[in-house]
Amino acid sequence: MMTTLIQKITIRQMILAMLALPAISLFNVVSAAEDSPLEGDVSRGAISWGQNCSRCHEMRDPKEFTDVMWRPIVAHMRLRGGLTGQQQRDILAFLQASNNPTPKKVATNLKVSDSSEPSQSGQATYNQTCIACHGADGKGALPGVPDFTKSDGRLSKSDDVLIKHITEGFQTPGSPMAMPAKGGNADLNDADIKSVLSYLRESFGQ
């Protein structure tokens, strides 16, 4: 009888341990990602989000969950989707930037720089910061992203309005996510923003 009781206890402990493994794995994934010295990249995160997440479910508004809640969710999807640690950090950075159109890192630099010269060409800025969501053809690479090539689309707005949207971030009505301030690139200055806007008009404007 004592042997049977010990066997039951052992089996019960084994079952509890097996049930705990997924939670332990998820905790380890979250911890490893947050302890990494590498930072997530918003632009790469947008690409990974579009390529991996939309395969299984519709794009959802990042505001459905807080930044803290997104951490275990993305970690769980890393396990389910076979993502790398860097992809996890990039997607989390993208979601949190979209969840906070004016993130703290950018908010401290919202007063546009007085620099009169862009740090690079408008095309280079677009390819580095904007192309992940807006696409090489300007028609939008993700659901809800505006089509720059439409004659009555986003580029029909004035420069003042578009500069404000780029600088402060903007969520297109009906879009599942917002464009973060400066596209998530806090290093953009006044001239960079004007330069990329000129590139948009020259490349996609009607």
Q: CATH code at 176?
A: 1.10.760.10
Strand partners, 170: 179
**Residue range 24-39, pLDDT digits in tens:** 444 444 444 455 557 8
- Do residues 6 and 92 share a domain? yes
Q: Please name the residue ranges forming H helices in the chain.
A: 2-35, 42-52, 67-81, 85-99, 104-107, 122-125, 131-134, 159-168, 190-204
**Among the three residues 35, 67, 99, which one is the final residue of a domain in this structure?**
99
**Residue range 99-154, pLDDT digits in tens:** 765 544 444 444 444 557 889 999 999 998 898 889 899 998 877 789 999 999 99
What residues contact 22, with CB distance under 8 A and at least 6 apart? none
- Do residues 76 and 159 share a domain? no
- Do residues 160 and 187 share a domain? yes
- Do residues 160 and 123 share a domain? yes
- Do residues 93 and 140 share a domain? no
- Do residues 112 and 76 share a domain? no
- pLDDT at position 122: 94
- Do residues 54 and 115 share a domain? no
- Do residues 110 and 95 share a domain? no
Query: How much of the chain, in percent, has pLDDT values that exceed 70?
Result: 68
Nearest by Cα to 30 from 19, 20, 41, 22: 22
Distance in angstroms (rounded) separating the CA atoms of residues 81 and 66: 21
- pLDDT at position 200: 96
Question: Mean pLDDT for the chain?
Answer: 75
- Do residues 18 and 80 share a domain? yes
- Domain containing 57 equals 2-99
Overall domain count for the chain: 2
Residue 195 binned pLDDT confidence (cut-offs 50, 70, 90): very high
Distance in angstroms (rounded) separating the CA atoms of residues 188 and 119: 8
- Given a cut of 90, is residue 191 above it in pLDDT? yes
In whole angstroms, how far apart are CA 6 and each of 3, 18, 99?
A: 5, 18, 52
Neighbours of 190 (CB within 10 A): 17
Say what the pTM is.
0.61
- Do residues 170 and 111 share a domain? yes
- Given a cut of 50, is residue 21 above it in pLDDT? no
- Do residues 94 and 112 share a domain? no
**Which tokens sit at 8?**
């039951």
Residue 13 binned pLDDT confidence (cut-offs 50, 70, 90): low
Nearest by Cα to 143 from 183, 174, 121: 174
**Among the three residues 63, 81, 99, which one is the final residue of a domain in this structure?**
99
**Residue range 81-112, pLDDT digits in tens:** 788 888 888 888 888 877 765 544 444 444 44
- Do residues 130 and 194 share a domain? yes
**Among the three residues 99, 117, 149, which one is the final residue of a domain in this structure?**
99
Query: How much of the chain, in percent, has pLDDT values that exceed 90?
Result: 23
Average pLDDT for 1-14: 53
Contact between 3 and 10 (Cβ < 8 Å): no
Give the max Cα distance, the chain.
Answer: 86
